[in-house]
Amino acid sequence: MHYRALVEKSAAELATAIGVRVKHERQQRRWTLDQLAEGTGVSRRMLVNIEQGAANPSVGTLLRISGALGVGLPDLVEPPRSKPMKVIRRGKGAVL
């Protein structure tokens, strides 16, 4: 795979992850898109695009969103990580 294709794939994955996080935080607060738009000064259309992973928001936009949601910017933009897996042999695990 070419470098450019890898960068584009990585950017798309990050945009999707940011969108999922923004939507999750908004829904946890039971806010509508309109309420988040009002609190951030970011248009509803842009918020929809961000939540769908279809936009590449600026750092300023992400700061306004994170500020309105009361979460740190790193919480919104941290790349997704797979959870570590621990393998335990049969009979070696905790007894319940």
Query: 23 phi and psi, to 5 degrees?
Result: -65, -45
Instruction: Determine the CATH number of domain 3-71.
Output: 1.10.260.40
> What does the pLDDT look like over 40-72, one tens digit per residue?
999 999 999 999 999 989 999 999 999 999 999
Rg (CA), the chain: 18
Give the predicted TM-score (pTM) of the model: 0.75
Cβ neighbours for 2, distance < 8 A, ≥ 6 positions apart: none
Count CB neighbours of 15 within 10 A: 18
> What does the pLDDT look like over 12-46, one tens digit per residue?
888 999 999 999 999 999 999 999 999 999 999 99
Q: Give the start-to-end residue ranges of the domains of the chain.
A: 3-71
